Amino acid sequence: MKTLDDLLAEGVSGRTVLVRSDLNVPLDGSRITDDGRIRASVPTLQKLREAGARVVVTAHLGRPKGGPDPKFSLAPVAGRLGELLGAEVTLADHGEEAQAAVGALADGGVVLLENIRFDPRETSKNDDERAALAHELAALTGANGAFVSDGFGVVHRKQASVYDVAQDLPAYAGGLVLTEVEVLRRLTESPERPYAVVLGGSKVSDKLAVIEALLPKVDALLVGGGMCFTFLAAQGYGVGDSLLEGDQIDTCRTLLETGKIVLPSDVVVADDFSADAKTQTVSADAIPDGWKGLDIGPDSVAAFADVLGRAATVFWNGPMGVFELAPFAEGTRGVAQAIVDSGAYSVVGGGDSAAAVRALGLPEDGFSHISTGGGASLEYLEGKSLPGIAVLEK
């Protein structure tokens, strides 16, 4: 796999370089609520700028349906990216506007193309449609162009700006993608033991493949979040109105037979899904009818912390509760703090877990690595081939 360093060694001054970044950040209207992915994209872009490249960035935001939608515009992202780079970032619509903006670039300049998913060919299942869009993107770079794949959060997608364009241009792995792959390879090939995994989130079905892939490799798998209630039901416990996947109960019962899964011993329950609901902490085997579990309890946090304190390697993906609501944030906060305190080699698997670290004010440098790609991280750990990585290895 060729890397950004290889490209810089070839020389990029005066060349146009297309970079696929992951700038898919959460917005409240036009306000960015978590700029972590934008900040993670800056080092690769800055290296290219400083080496004299003319940088064209392509990225997506959200899931627009079949065409342009103002609420998914990358305009707020262009502004924040410009602040972080200390340079003006021009936002350009695809087509003639993009061609003019790229043609006007000076060495070290940056153009951000508007949301690539405004073009339905980006996510098309039709190879020819994706290839046509990739040809248009590649054409923007001219005869001496190059492509840098730096959006780890999308490398598990076979999409035009991720996969197909890497077949049209000399392709290189950006620093972010390279770091992510190295970290995940360490988790899969040679984790220092004991190796503990913490999984949360809402549904067992969403994490089933990664649970089955990890169980033979880990020493302990700690389960929280909404998914824990299906496991508790598999033990024969009533779970009230908690999230429950009835069709997964038998599967969970089989998984529990490994003896490696650690479940909450107490949970915080509420009579409503709201920040001002009535709450109580109850034993995991005594959830009242009509109440729903929305976080793990303090005894569970202490038990999880005991396991994590003995671990040498920790991977965490998924919050322990509805951390966005204050009454149900302490489980996630407590477990995250336990990971920091453990001193283990610790990897946060992107998505809601990374958002929780920042939203709860936890020290980002307390973790060895915070991934920018939740889905991509999980698929790598499942052992799946990631199209955006595979194409760079050809």
What does the DSSP assignment read for 346-387?
A: EEE-SHHHHHHHHHTT--GGGSSEE-S-HHHHHHHHHTPPPH
Answer yes or no: is 253 a known binding residue. no
**216 and 296 co-located in one domain:** yes
Model confidence at 359, pLDDT cuts 50, 70, 90, reads: confident
203 is catalytic: yes
Mean pLDDT across the chain, nearest whole number? 95
**108 and 221 co-located in one domain:** no
Residue at a domain's end among 138, 155, 178: 178
Answer yes or no: is 34 a known binding residue. no
**154 and 117 co-located in one domain:** yes
Reported as a single tens digit per residue, the pLDDT across 84-115 is 999 999 999 999 999 999 999 999 999 999 99
Instruction: Provide the CATH number for the domain around residue 300.
Output: 3.40.50.1260
**300 and 165 co-located in one domain:** no
Model confidence at 30, pLDDT cuts 50, 70, 90, reads: very high
**219 and 271 co-located in one domain:** yes
Reported as a single tens digit per residue, the pLDDT across 259-294 is 999 999 999 999 999 999 999 999 999 999 999 999
pLDDT of 353 reads 87
Q: Evaluate whether residue 269 is within a structural domain.
A: yes
Answer yes or no: is 117 a known binding residue. yes
Residue 271 is encoded by which pair of tokens?
């009579």
pLDDT of 85 reads 98
- Tell me: pLDDT of 376 over 80: yes
- Active-site position among 351, 373, 374, 388: 351
What is the percent of the chain where pLDDT is above 90? 91
Would you call 319 helix, strand, or coil by DSSP? coil
> What φ, ψ does residue 48 adopt, rounded to 5°?
-65, -45
Reported as a single tens digit per residue, the pLDDT across 222-246 is 999 999 999 999 999 999 999 999 9
Answer yes or no: is 386 a known binding residue. no
Answer yes or no: is 22 a known binding residue. yes
- Active-site position among 39, 80, 186, 203: 203
pLDDT of 265 reads 98
Q: Evaluate whether residue 183 is within a structural domain.
A: no
Rounded Cα–Cα distance for residues 366 and 335 (Å): 13
Answer yes or no: is 300 a known binding residue. no
- Tell me: pLDDT of 52 over 80: yes
Model confidence at 375, pLDDT cuts 50, 70, 90, reads: confident
Reported as a single tens digit per residue, the pLDDT across 153-162 is 999 999 999 9
**Helices 351-359 & 330-342 angle (0-180, nearest 10):** 90
- Active-site position among 321, 334, 349, 375: 375
**214 and 170 co-located in one domain:** no
Q: Evaluate whether residue 387 is within a structural domain.
A: no
pLDDT of 248 reads 96
Q: Evaluate whether residue 390 is within a structural domain.
A: no
pLDDT of 42 reads 98
Q: Evaluate whether residue 257 is within a structural domain.
A: yes
Q: Evaluate whether residue 167 is within a structural domain.
A: yes
**138 and 195 co-located in one domain:** no
Would you call 123 helix, strand, or coil by DSSP? helix
**235 and 171 co-located in one domain:** no
pLDDT of 170 reads 98
**152 and 229 co-located in one domain:** no
Domain of residue 268, residue span: 191-382
Reported as a single tens digit per residue, the pLDDT across 312-327 is 999 999 999 999 999 9
- Tell me: pLDDT of 354 over 90: no
pLDDT of 286 reads 97
Number of structural domains in the chain: 2
**335 and 211 co-located in one domain:** yes
pLDDT of 379 reads 92
Answer yes or no: is 350 a known binding residue. yes
**148 and 196 co-located in one domain:** no
Answer yes or no: is 353 a known binding residue. yes
37 is catalytic: yes
pLDDT of 322 reads 95
**52 and 154 co-located in one domain:** yes
pLDDT of 350 reads 72
- Tell me: pLDDT of 310 over 80: yes
351 is catalytic: yes
Answer yes or no: is 37 a known binding residue. yes
Q: Evaluate whether residue 185 is within a structural domain.
A: no
- Active-site position among 15, 20, 36, 37: 37
Answer yes or no: is 108 a known binding residue. no
- Tell me: pLDDT of 122 over 90: yes
- Tell me: pLDDT of 134 over 90: yes
- Quote the strand ranges of the chain, DSSP E: 16-20, 27-28, 31-32, 54-58, 89-92, 110-113, 146-149, 171-173, 195-199, 220-223, 261-262, 266-270, 279-283, 292-296, 313-317, 345-348, 369-370
Model confidence at 335, pLDDT cuts 50, 70, 90, reads: very high
pLDDT of 154 reads 96
Q: In the chain, what's the furthest Cα-to-Cα distance? A: 68
Q: How far is CA 304 from CA 182, 191, 221, 288, 351, in A?
A: 27, 19, 10, 24, 21
pLDDT of 351 reads 77
- Tell me: pLDDT of 373 over 90: no
